[in-house]
Amino acid sequence: MSSTYYVFIVLILIVAFLLMLVIMVQNPKGGGLSSTFGGGGNQQIGGVQKTTDFLDKSTWALGTILIALILITNFTNLSANDRQSKLANKEVQQTEQPATNDTNTTNDTTNGQGK
């Protein structure tokens, strides 16, 4: 497999980890870690809303990036496998020799001692 395949795998792992963190920070009831980022009083409501919006948008963005990376990795892997199979077929064709019918010619090196 090519080195680009491994680069995409590492990117997928990083994005998946970030997506997991963003999802774990969110709380569907509006509490949790997202509420601690706001100030006090009325500012807390605005801060929580902006933090929730940011977490929601980042979740969608990371999810979209993850799906795109998975598809790109799949196509990269398919093209690499296609190239490898074509190369292997070419090598097999080059190593195959056409069969010749040399059954009429024999080597009598073992019976030629008495002559």
Task: Output the pTM of the full model.
Answer: 0.56
3-state secondary structure the chain: CCHHHHHHHHHHHHHHHHHHHHHHHCCCCCCCHHHHCCCCCHHHHHHHHHHHHHHHHHHHHHHHHHHHHHHHHHHHHHHHHHHHHHHHHHHHHHHCCCCCCCCCCCCCCCCCCCC
Read off the pLDDT band of 42 (50, 70, 90).
Answer: very low
Residue 66 above 90 pLDDT? yes
Q: What is the pLDDT of residues 68-104, one digit of tens each?
A: 999 999 888 777 777 777 777 777 777 765 556 656 5
Residue scoring higher pLDDT (109 or 22) = 22
Read off the pLDDT band of 54 (50, 70, 90).
Answer: confident
